Every structure is written in C-alpha cells, then in structure tokens.
Structure 1
Amino acid sequence: MTYTVSKQPAAKTTWLDRPWIVPLLLVVVAFLAFSVPPYLTLDPAQSRLRPPDHNAVYYPALVAHVLFGTVAMTTACFQIWPAFRARYRRGHRITGRIYVFAGALPAGLLGLYIGWHTAAGPSVRVANLVGSALWLTVTLTGLRLARQRRYGEHRRWMARSFALSMSIVLSRVVDVVATIVLTPQVDTTFRGSEDLMRYSAASIGVWLSPLLLLLLTDWLLERRKPRQAATARSEP
C-alpha cells in the first residue's frame, strides 16, 4: 500500500504580509523629495555639501552620486518587497540589475571620490570611505551569489546592501540629534568653533548609521533562520 503526499499550494504573498513596506516607501519618497531637487539645478551654491576649494570635479561627481543613489534607493525598495519578488520574478531580476549597475556600484565608486575630498574633516572622510567600500563589497558579493544561484545567501547579502543604501537617511536624522546635543558644548568642548561642532555631529551620523542598520539587518536575518528551517522540515 502506498501513500501520496499532496503538496499544499503556496500561500499568496501580499503587501499586507509586510506592512512596513508602505511606510518605508513613504520615508524614501520624502527623503528624496527633500534631498535631490537642489542638485537638479546644477548650481553648486545649492549643494548641501560644501565643495572643496579648487576642485572642479567634486560637484559634478556629487551630482552623479546623488542621482545614482536615488536609483539605488528606489529600486532597493522593490528588491526587498516579498510580494513584488514573488509575483514578478522577471521584474525582480530587472530591478535588481538596475539597482546594482545603475545604482549601488556607480554611487559607491563616486562615494569613494567624494569621501576622499570631503571638507568635513578626517573622521567623516574615513567614515565615507569605509561606508562606500562596504557598500561595494556587499553588493558585489550578493551579485556573485545570485550568478551562482545561491539565492538564500544572495538575499542575505543584498539585505545588507539595502541597509547601507538607506544609511544616508538615518545619518541625516542622527546628524540633527547630534547637533542639538552638541550645540551647548560649542564654547567648552569645541572652544567656540561651530564648524568643529558640525563636523563632529556629521561624523557621529556617518559612523553610527551604517553600523546600526547592519546590526539590525543581521539580527533580523538571524531571527528568520528558525522559521526558514521549520518550513524546510515541513516540506514533503
């Protein structure tokens, strides 16, 4: 006597299964609507970052970095959206290629140049260089794993790439908080230098934001492991 096991149809994934996707999209849209327009004017005077003196390449590189970063942030939201990934496999692959080749890689490479030539001091310089190098590394690792069809590992590394692409948003929030906290110390800790205080606040933002998001991402990935293992054991 033989028994057959009928495989249950996979449950459909909807955006309601991941309700955080809508707030995430709203945050990204709001951030880009605030941050990008000044650079579309191509006027260096509108830049939110002070260009270094006697460097004609910095501002065009910064504008390109912002535009490529916009592509990366936009497409990244669709990459981590489970419902989009499950329903539109071809769309997932297309947006993934756009994220890598028209977003993260060029933005990361330009970030190395911008980070090296920043006028915000050595701490911000090192943080930008480390952050850009990490972004390039985890993105290329995720791309390599996808081409090897190691999709589980691919998703983990691209989750880290997503975290680094979004660190700029958290960095701006941390920068504001750090500025508020440090402002009363201008006359003491910073000996009357507001520029030094602002550079210190910026340094806190660019160091702390990617670290926090990477830690949060890996914590969430580790939490998913038991559920994934249980699902694998239950499959016939």
Structure 2
Amino acid sequence: MSLLPSPSWKLPGALLLLSLVPVAAGAVRLLDVLKVSSGGLVTAENTRFMTMPGAVLAHIVAASLFCVLGAFQFDAAIRLRFPRLHRITGRVVALSGILTALTGLWMTAGMHIPAELQGELLYGARLLVGICMLLAISVSIRAVLRGRIAQHKAWMIRAYALGQGAGTQVLIMLPVALTAGTPTFFFRDILMTSAWGLNAVFAEWLIRRRWP
C-alpha cells in the first residue's frame, strides 16, 4: 500500500471552476476571430480584436493553458505521486504564463478599447499585472533552478493568482450586472482592478500560512 497521500482533486476542481467562464468566453472569442480571419463578418463587437488577431489568439490559448494546467500544480498529493508530470506540466505552465503576460501587455498598449470599457485606472492595472506576472514567473523559475522550492512555490502562487484575475472578475461583475446592469467607465475599472487586488491578497495569505 502506498504511503503517499491520495489526490483529493478539491483544489484543482475549485480552480477549474474559477477558470470555466473565462476559458469558455475565450474559446468563443477564438472561434469568432478565426471565422472573421476566414472571411467572416466584422462587427462592432469584434472589430478591435481584429486589429491584433495574432496577439488575441496567442493570449487566449496561453491563458487557458496557464489556468487549466496550473490548477493541478498546487496540490501536494499530485506533486508527490506524479513528480515527473509535475515538472513537465510546470514548464508548460511557466511558458504559457509568460506568453499570457507578454500578449496581455501587447494588447493593452496597442489595442484601442472604448473609454466605457477601459479607463486610465484599468489601463494602468493591466500593465502592472502583466509586468508583475512576468517578474513572478521569472523569479519562480530562477528559484527552482537553484533548488529553492519554497520560494519557487510562493512566486508561482503569486503569478497564478494574477493570471486568474479574469475568473475573479466574473465573480465580482456578474452580481452587479444582474442587479444594476453592466458596469461601465470608472465603476467598471474599479471592479475589474479589485479582482486582481483580491487575488493578490489571497495569494499572500496562502503563502504566509505555509500552504503545502
């Protein structure tokens, strides 16, 4: 009988649920961009995405991989039972996270977004999140290469928390949209930005309680 703990799948399941709506929305957007690229109709809804279709497609694929595969990286039992899989998947997660951050920064800087959907606060927050994700993943990679596993885990938790911002944004925005209508302008900026803030605070709490 193995003495290794059995995976509970509760943590990965919760993270996958958090990723569900953003990943599904990304898949719909990806199909839309591909359809337009193949001669489909450009609409007011998708026109801004067609100004940078390559970045949009790369961002959707990379972010989906980062959130879905990353969900299985933080369960201690899975790491202990499947160490080789953890290392292989970890490389994919790290590369996906870097691509997610880079394409996010590229789109934020180069894509025209209407003022009602992004003001100065949200613009600055997106730039800051992208830079912080890159730094967190870079520090995490450096740490694991030097055998500093605790430091590696802490910085990957921080990176993953920022990468999961879209999932928390759904949780925050949906009740507001259902009760008061879709938020716009500065109110939308505050709600969207607060999701990253909440995730960052939660990540620090997990790290300080020595999450396995």
Please report the TM-score for the alignment, with normalisation by the length of structure 1. Answer: 0.74
Structure 2 residue 54 is matched with structure 1 residue 60 = yes
Is the Cα–Cα contact under 8 Å of residues 65 and 111 in structure 1 kept in the other structure? yes
Distance 1:100 1:151 in 2: 15
Name the aligned partner's letter for residue 32 of structure 1: V
Identity %: 21
Structure 2 residue 23 is matched with structure 1 residue 32 = yes
Structure 2 residue 206 is matched with structure 1 residue 213 = no
Structure 2 residue 6 is matched with structure 1 residue 14 = yes
Check 1:219–1:49 CA distance in 2 against 1; reply closer, same or farther (3 A cut).
Answer: farther
Name the aligned partner's letter for residue 79 of structure 2: R
Residue 97 of structure 2 corresponds to 104
1:154 counterpart (144, 152, 155) = 152
How far 1:23 sits from its partner (Å)? 2.9
Name the aligned partner's letter for residue 92 of structure 2: I
Distance 1:49 1:201 in 2: 23
How far 1:38 sits from its partner (Å)? 2.7
Whose relative contact order is higher, 1 or 2, with alpha carbons under 8 Å and at least 6 apart? 2
How far 1:182 sits from its partner (Å)? 6.1
Name the aligned partner's letter for residue 209 of structure 2: R
Distance 1:180 1:87 in 2: 43
Deviations 1:144-189 (A, max 9, x none): 1011110111111111111111111111222334446765xxxxxx
Check 1:178–1:115 CA distance in 2 against 1; reply closer, same or farther (3 A cut).
Answer: farther
Is the Cα–Cα contact under 8 Å of residues 182 and 201 in structure 1 kept in the other structure? no
Deviations 1:96-146 (A, max 9, x none): 110112x11111011111112341232221111111111111111101101
Check 1:34–1:223 CA distance in 2 against 1; reply closer, same or farther (3 A cut).
Answer: same
Deviations 1:8-62 (A, max 9, x none): xx9522223x63332322342454234322312324658977617xx83x23312
Check 1:201–1:36 CA distance in 2 against 1; reply closer, same or farther (3 A cut).
Answer: farther
Matches within 5 A, 1:1-236: 11-16=3-8, 19-41=10-32, 42-43=34-35, 45=42, 51=48, 56=51, 58-101=52-95, 103-116=96-109, 117-119=111-113, 120-179=118-177, 183=181, 198-224=184-210
Query: How many aligned positions are there?
Result: 201
Residue 39 of structure 2 corresponds to none
Look up the SS of the partner of 1:80 in the other structure: coil
Distance 1:47 1:93 in 2: 43
Distance 2:106 2:170 in 1: 20
Q: Which runs of 5+ in 2 are unaligned?
A: 37-41
Of structures 1 and 2, the larger Rg is shown by 1
Name the aligned partner's letter for residue 28 of structure 1: S
Distance 1:214 1:48 in 2: 31
Q: CA RMSD in A?
A: 2.8
Mean Cα deviation higher: 37-46 or 164-173: 37-46
Is the Cα–Cα contact under 8 Å of residues 69 and 107 in structure 1 kept in the other structure? yes
